[in-house]
Amino acid sequence: MTNSFQVGPGGRLEGRLRVPGDKSISHRSIMLGAIAQGLTEVSGFLEGADAISTMNVFRALGVRINGPDAGRVLVHGVGMHGLAPPAGVLDCGNAGTAMRLLMGLLAGQRFGSTLSGDESLSRRPMRRVSEPLIAMGAKIETTGATPPVHIAPAESLRGIDFLMPVASAQVKSAVLLAGLYAQGETSVTEPAPTRDHTERMLGGFGVELHREGARVTLRGGQRLRAARIDVPADISSAAFFLVAASIAPGSDLVLEHVGMNPTRTGVIDILRLMGADIEVLEPREVGGEPVADLRVRAAALHGIDVPAELVALAIDEFPVLFVAAACAAGRTVVTGAGELRVKESDRIATMADGLLALGVDARATADGMVIEGVGGAQPAFGAATIESHGDHRIAMAFAVAALRASGPIVIREVDNVATSFPGFVALARAAGLGIGQVPA
């Protein structure tokens, strides 16, 4: 049996809150800490199912990890070649980031491994990761380009100069991690900027990288040194509250210690272009990552054509941005977001179906959506039961929509919200959202 959200209509958000730690950084802290020499100390670790899956994979690879305990984790690094052959299949759960980055990291090991995942992850494409790794000499097999992923020991990897056909931080990261084990230099050139947590964290672990425009290069054979990592609050999780406070009249909310990496702030840029009132307070740097507090107040939003250069920088935030667009005055057009078709669900189709069920004039396109927003303070959505298809970001996006609904919204299959945002219901309710979780 799966659970559902039931969210009452209306309300406003106020006060101060801190969302859980950044999922991308949490994944990488375990991975790089595991292959570093010495003890890596992590604070602010996201205790969600996806990040725990990464932790369990590395325990299965012989790495001793203490925690998590209130966000604190100790990773006893085994060095570049200290991972042990696993006794069985490595289960990534629902964590696509874990699987794709692990493909790069495990491609250069002296033992074979198999990566599997849950039903949702088992449908997600892996070919765009496996193809550049195979070009480096990796021996990787999948079934129909989807998991499980079988990795055989490779005699050696060789560095490549890879021009990415589609912007993807996960593909970039997988190639760079494999490059640590490759002979010579490995370079990746992006067609558009993507999140750079891997490059920043590699530098923090002592790896020398060279950046030149859209190209990043590293030399194989470098050793990693243990580091201390303070994980900021996840801007992808904060995005639900940025939109919620923007669309709910009378809202005034402060989000604390939010990661402000410039490759992740596309959601703020897009909302500001739509007229959102978002103030950056006390910008600072913690552990090599910029952070700040964000104050967001209700504002009259208007539709926009989302600039192409911002799409890759906000790819995970589009489900809730589509909700903002439905509340904005006029038309919002999103193009160049075809990546949304291959997330935990087809997020373009799933969001379009849900918006239509709520009475929104929304039209899905091959790589985006066209939404006719209603504007004003009147309800933008009707009452309905929404199918999330087990996608955590879809579920949370439609929970936010209830703030501007004329009746209750029920969202089905919400268990996977715990993969990225444990405690979402309690935090949202404390901020002013009339949300509860009920058995389906």
What is the SS3 assignment for 53-119?
HHHHHHHHCCCEEEEEECCEEEEEEECCCCCCCCCCCEECCCCHHHHHHHHHHHHCCCCCEEEECCC
DSSP for 313-327 reads GGGGGHHHHHHHHHH
Q: Backbone dihedral region of 299: left (phi > 0), alpha (psi from -120 to 50 degrees) or beta?
A: beta
Of 87, 6, 76, give the one whose Cα is nearest residue 41. Answer: 76
Reduced to 3 states, what is the DSSP secondary structure of residue 267? helix
**Residue 356 dihedral angles phi and psi, to the nearest 5°:** -60, -40
DSSP state of 204: H
What's the sign of the alpha-carbon dihedral 54, 56, 59, 64? positive
Q: Which of 22, 293, 316, 415 is catalytic?
A: 316
Is-catalytic flag, 316?
Answer: yes
Six-digit token string for 204: 């923090």
Question: How far is Cα 207 from Cα 186, in angstroms, rounded to an integer?
Answer: 13
Q: Give the residue numbers annotated as catalytic, written as ranges.
A: 316
